[in-house]
């Protein structure tokens, strides 16, 4: 677990951490000469269960708030330091605001330098601290009176920190690896080293990682976890120093992100839930601000999604256009500071990355979308992802990338959504495609209605050909067409009859009300014998087409029809007369007493029906 210090300059943060850990967090020569913390310092304290408590010591001076935000971005709990001889100061309040905006949920307060203040002064400052915390998200935070000089109260503070660490527990180390870089340095004989706190996942030697922004991929040569070299794996919550093969110092900087390849995308626009501090000025359209997320700081333009501003002490949705891209994911926390004077004015949670600037006329639609994302409910968010994907749908891996989750997690959610009808899926694993349940149901309705309409227009037809759904569902991709057919046939809402599709209530045979009409037409064509018959314009073409589909009629050539009974009778007569050694076209012509043209038509019909097969200039019967 990681504890971040917070508090005003010269209130004794570094001395307190040094007393607790035995290690001075100030490592720079300038820090030691000036007696102030300028850069982030990292030290460790052993826990009774064998684990380590990591401390990030942050600068207290207002000029170094950027470093403070970068350090606080990855902490689990805070150690707020207030000097007993001075009380609450400006950076005490600003640091507490930053902790709240970054979502840090618990901590302790150390009332330091008690050796410099009498008990009455200590009581007054503690009352001041309690009042400050009462109006924040941390009303029950314990206060410990300590002195780094005399050791007063240090054992109680250490016990309080241990209890907090053990009750908070380790971060979830599953998911995909990600580390926000807060230190970059050259180590002689090893090359460029990057260090930071693992936000999620785990990393091992030999693993390939990606640095964003930039997109360069590197192999982990070796690493240290919480200063230890012989640790086989670094997990979420660990301080990790990575030696990446081939990495140059100019390829990485504080604010970069080291992650599993393909996990983190670089974006220059974000939609957020923004909370403005009560003491801040309203945020207005296109106001230029300093945007901090993870360990990165970039300039940005803020655009409220609703109206022209977000008032102090309120929360609203804001779109940010970044002047430089950052590696950010939904649910990341952020802080904004005014351009000038440089003070913290608000912060919140990133809801979506890579978004377009919203037009006023679409603001209501965007607000509804962001309200769903703000809930944090994975199924609701996935529903929005599917809605945005539209008829094309999206792969499981694609949805996972949008949601910054693993494909396995997203697949598990989707399987539940499929059962409730909220989604439809085709395929398996991360490559499976998925579409919104409402869109899928609409496609099913369109196909059912299309086939029912076909039956109304073609009552004698056995059904539509299997290629017809592609035309009916012309606006949908082929994978949805196939999935709709499978779903409707498996559920009994459609039936496959050979190479045809029909609704279940459509009769397989000739409908009763059309039988006399069919019989009359068949009799007329049968009377024409082997020469066939061309029907006139008075005959319903849809009826002819339906009888061809049912193979009750056969086509000798375009428009020239014979009945299937006539064709079979002729085939049997030819087989009995010429079938022994096969026959040539001339032999068929002479046997039938017709022209060569008519004989060719019948020979091709025999072939087409599979009754005969052709070898050079002779045909042989395949039926007996």
Strands (E), 499-577: 500-502, 533-534, 553-557, 560-563
Q: How far apart are CA 128 and CA 84, in angstroms?
A: 11
Q: Within 10 A of 401 (CB to CB), how many other CB atoms are there?
A: 19
Q: How far apart are CA 599 and CA 594, in angstroms?
A: 6
Quick check: helix, strand or coil at residue 602?
A: helix
CATH topology of domain 377-509: Arc Repressor Mutant, subunit A (1.10.10)
Q: How far apart are CA 142 and CA 156, in angstroms?
A: 11
Question: 407, 387 in Cβ contact below 8 A?
Answer: no
pLDDT of residue 28: 39
Share of the chain above pLDDT 90, in %: 50
Model confidence at 30, in pLDDT bands (50, 70, 90)? Answer: very low
Question: Can you tell me which residue has the tokens 């496609």?
Answer: 443
Beta-strand pair 257-259/208-212: antiparallel
pLDDT of residue 228: 77
CATH topology of domain 514-621: Arc Repressor Mutant, subunit A (1.10.10)
Query: Encoding tokens for residue 281?
Result: 């000025």
> Averaged over 61-83, what is the pLDDT?
74
Q: Which residues contact 495 (CB under 8 A, 6 or more apart)?
A: 463, 489, 501, 502, 503, 504
Model confidence at 142, in pLDDT bands (50, 70, 90)? Answer: very high
Model confidence at 498, in pLDDT bands (50, 70, 90)? Answer: confident
Model confidence at 420, in pLDDT bands (50, 70, 90)? Answer: very high
Residue closest to 563 by CA, chosen among 537, 592, 594, 530? 530
* pLDDT tens figures, 245-260: 999 999 999 889 999 9
Quick check: helix, strand or coil at residue 69?
A: helix
Question: 172, 165 in Cβ contact below 8 A?
Answer: no
Q: Between residues 301 and 521, which one has the greater pLDDT?
A: 301
Query: Encoding tokens for residue 518?
Result: 């069919």
* pLDDT tens figures, 295-314: 899 999 999 999 899 999 99
pLDDT of residue 64: 47
pLDDT of residue 197: 87
Model confidence at 528, in pLDDT bands (50, 70, 90)? Answer: confident
pLDDT of residue 366: 86
Q: How far apart are CA 286 and CA 302, in angstroms?
A: 5
Looking at the structure, give the CATH architecture of the domain made up of residues 178-259.
Beta Barrel (2.40)
pLDDT of residue 512: 85
For 587, the enclosing helix (H) or strand (E) is helix 585-592
User: What sign for the dihedral angle of Cα 573, 579, 582, 587?
Assistant: negative
Q: Within 10 A of 245 (CB to CB), how many other CB atoms are there?
A: 12
Q: Within 10 A of 103 (CB to CB), how many other CB atoms are there?
A: 14
Q: In this model, does residue 66 exceed pLDDT 70?
A: no
Question: 111, 82 in Cβ contact below 8 A?
Answer: yes
> Averaged over 577-587, what is the pLDDT?
87
Distances (CA, A) of 510 to 455, 500, 547, 562, 584: 12, 15, 9, 19, 38
Distances (CA, A) of 68 to 38, 410, 612: 9, 35, 87
| Residue environment code for 586-598, b if the CB has 16+ CB neighbours within 10 A, otherwise e | ebbbeebebeeeb
CATH topology of domain 266-369: Elongation Factor Tu (Ef-tu); domain 3 (2.40.30)
Q: In this model, does residue 435 exceed pLDDT 70?
A: yes
Model confidence at 61, in pLDDT bands (50, 70, 90)? Answer: very low
Q: Within 10 A of 281 (CB to CB), how many other CB atoms are there?
A: 14
Query: Encoding tokens for residue 332?
Result: 């990341």
pLDDT of residue 26: 55
Q: In this model, does residue 361 exceed pLDDT 80?
A: no
Q: How far apart are CA 494 and CA 473, in angstroms?
A: 15
pLDDT of residue 581: 83
Looking at the structure, give the CATH architecture of the domain made up of residues 2-168.
3-Layer(aba) Sandwich (3.40)
Question: Can you tell me which residue has the tokens 């300093």?
Answer: 290
Model confidence at 40, in pLDDT bands (50, 70, 90)? Answer: low
Q: How far apart are CA 293 and CA 279, in angstroms?
A: 22
pLDDT of residue 36: 38
Q: How far apart are CA 506 and CA 525, in angstroms?
A: 26
Quick check: helix, strand or coil at residue 145?
A: strand
Q: How far apart are CA 103 and CA 206, in angstroms?
A: 34
> Averaged over 574-585, what is the pLDDT?
87
The model's pTM is: 0.75
Q: Between residues 404 and 495, which one has the greater pLDDT?
A: 495
Instruction: Name the least confident of 114-128, 219-233, 279-293.
Output: 219-233
* pLDDT tens figures, 447-491: 999 999 999 988 888 899 999 999 999 999 999 999 999 999 999
Q: Which residues contact 92 (CB under 8 A, 6 or more apart)?
A: 6, 7, 8, 11, 80, 82, 132
Q: In this model, does residue 173 exceed pLDDT 70?
A: no
Distances (CA, A) of 549 to 345, 465, 498, 544: 74, 9, 11, 9
Strands of the sheet containing 495-497, edge to edge, are: 464-465, 500-502, 495-497
Q: Between residues 536 and 504, which one has the greater pLDDT?
A: 504
pLDDT of residue 555: 87
**φ, ψ for residue 114, nearest 5 deg:** -65, -20
Topology agreement, domain 178-259 and domain 266-369: yes
Q: Between residues 511 and 113, which one has the greater pLDDT?
A: 113
Q: Which residues contact 139 (CB under 8 A, 6 or more apart)?
A: 133
Q: Which residues pair with 302 in a beta bridge?
A: 287, 320
pLDDT of residue 237: 83
Q: How far apart are CA 424 and CA 91, in angstroms?
A: 53
| Distance separating the N- and C-terminal Cα atoms of the chain | 84
Q: How far apart are CA 118 and CA 561, in angstroms?
A: 115
pLDDT of residue 143: 96
pLDDT of residue 203: 93
Write the DSSP symbol of residue 11.
S
For the chain, give the mean pLDDT: 88
Q: How far apart are CA 516 and CA 507, in angstroms?
A: 16
pLDDT of residue 68: 67
Strands of the sheet containing 553-557, edge to edge, are: 533-534, 560-563, 553-557
Cis peptide before 342 (omega within 30 of 0): no
Query: Encoding tokens for residue 465?
Result: 């050909």
> Averaged over 30-43, what is the pLDDT?
49
Q: Which residues pair with 274 in a beta bridge?
A: 316, 348
Question: 60, 26 in Cβ contact below 8 A?
Answer: no
Quick check: helix, strand or coil at residue 400?
A: helix
pLDDT of residue 545: 87
Q: Between residues 405 and 82, which one has the greater pLDDT?
A: 82
Q: For the chain, which residues make up each domain, given as ranges?
A: 2-168, 178-259, 266-369, 377-509, 514-621
Write the DSSP symbol of residue 345.
E
Half-sphere exposure (Cβ direction) of 133: Cα atoms closer than 13 Å: 20
pLDDT of residue 537: 73
């Amino acid at each position: 677990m990681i504890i971040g210090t917070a508090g005003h300059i010269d209130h004794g943060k570094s001395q307190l951490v040094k007393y607790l850990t035995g290690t001075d967090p100030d490592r720079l020569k300038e820090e030691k000469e000036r007696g102030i913390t300028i850069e982030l310092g990292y030290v460790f304290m052993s826990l009774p269960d064998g684990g380590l408590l990591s401390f990030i010591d942050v600068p207290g001076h207002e000029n170094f708030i950027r470093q403070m935000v970068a350090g606080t971005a990855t902490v689990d709990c805070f150690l707020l330091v207030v000097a007993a001889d001075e009380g609450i100061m400006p950076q005490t309040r600003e640091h507490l605001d930053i902790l709240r905006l970054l979502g840090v949920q618990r901590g302790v307060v150390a009332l330091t330098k008690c050796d410099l203040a009498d008990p009455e002064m200590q009581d007054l400052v503690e009352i001041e601290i309690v009042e400050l915390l009462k109006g924040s998200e941390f009303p029950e935070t314990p206060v410990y009176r300590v002195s780094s000089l005399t050791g007063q109260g240090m054992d109680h503070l250490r016990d309080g920190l241990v209890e907090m660490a053990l009750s908070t527990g380790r971060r979830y180390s599953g998911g995909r690896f990600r580390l926000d870089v807060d230190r970059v340095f050259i180590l002689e004989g090893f090359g460029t080293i990057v260090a930071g706190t693992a936000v999620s996942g785990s990393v091992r030697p030999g693993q390939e990682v990606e640095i964003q922004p930039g997109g360069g991929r590197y192999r982990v040569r070796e690493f240290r976890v919480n200063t230890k070299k012989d640790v086989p794996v670094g997990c979420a919550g660990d301080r990790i120093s990575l030696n990446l093969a081939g990495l140059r110092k100019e390829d990485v900087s504080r604010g970069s992100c080291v992650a599993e390849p393909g996990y983190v995308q670089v974006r220059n626009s974000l939609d957020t839930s923004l909370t403005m501090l009560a003491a801040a000025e309203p945020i207005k359209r296109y106001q230029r601000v300093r945007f901090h997320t993870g360990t990165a700081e970039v300039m940005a333009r803020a655009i409220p999604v609703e109206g022209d501003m977000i008032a102090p002490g309120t929360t609203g949705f804001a779109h940010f256009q970044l002047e430089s891209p950052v590696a950010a994911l939904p649910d990341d926390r952020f802080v904004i500071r005014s351009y000038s004077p440089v003070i913290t004015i608000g912060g919140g949670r990133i809801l979506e990355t890579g978004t377009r600037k919203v037009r006023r006329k679409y603001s209501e639609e965007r607000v509804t979308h962001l309200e769903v994302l703000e809930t944090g409910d994975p199924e609701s968010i996935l529903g929005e992802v599917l809605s945005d994907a539209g008829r094309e749908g999206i792969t499981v891996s694609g949805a996972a990338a949008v949601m910054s989750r693993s494909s396995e997690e997203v697949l598990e959610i989707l399987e539940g959504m499929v059962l409730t009808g909220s989604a439809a899926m085709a395929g398996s694993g991360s490559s499976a495609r998925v579409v919104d349940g409402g869109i899928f149901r609409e496609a099913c309705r369109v196909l059912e209605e299309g086939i029912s309409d076909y039956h109304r227009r073609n009552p004698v037809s056995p059904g539509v050909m299997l290629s017809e759904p592609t035309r009916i569902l012309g606006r949908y991709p082929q994978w949805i067409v196939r999935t709709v057919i499978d779903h409707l046939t498996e559920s009994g809402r459609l039936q496959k009859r050979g190479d045809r599709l029909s609704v279940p209530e459509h009769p397989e045979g000739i409908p009763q009300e059309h039988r006399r009409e069919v019989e009359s037409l068949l009799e007329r064509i049968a009377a024409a014998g082997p020469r066939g018959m061309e029907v006139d314009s008075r005959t319903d073409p849809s009826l002819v087409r339906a009888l061809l589909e049912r193979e009750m009629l056969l086509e000798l050539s375009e428009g020239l029809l014979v009945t299937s009974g006539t064709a079979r009778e002729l085939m049997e007569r030819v087989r009995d007369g010429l079938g022994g050694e096969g026959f040539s076209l001339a032999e068929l012509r002479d046997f039938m007493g017709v022209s060569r043209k008519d004989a060719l038509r019948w020979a091709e019909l025999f072939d087409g029906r599979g009754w005969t097969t052709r070898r050079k200039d002779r045909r042989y019967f395949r039926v007996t």
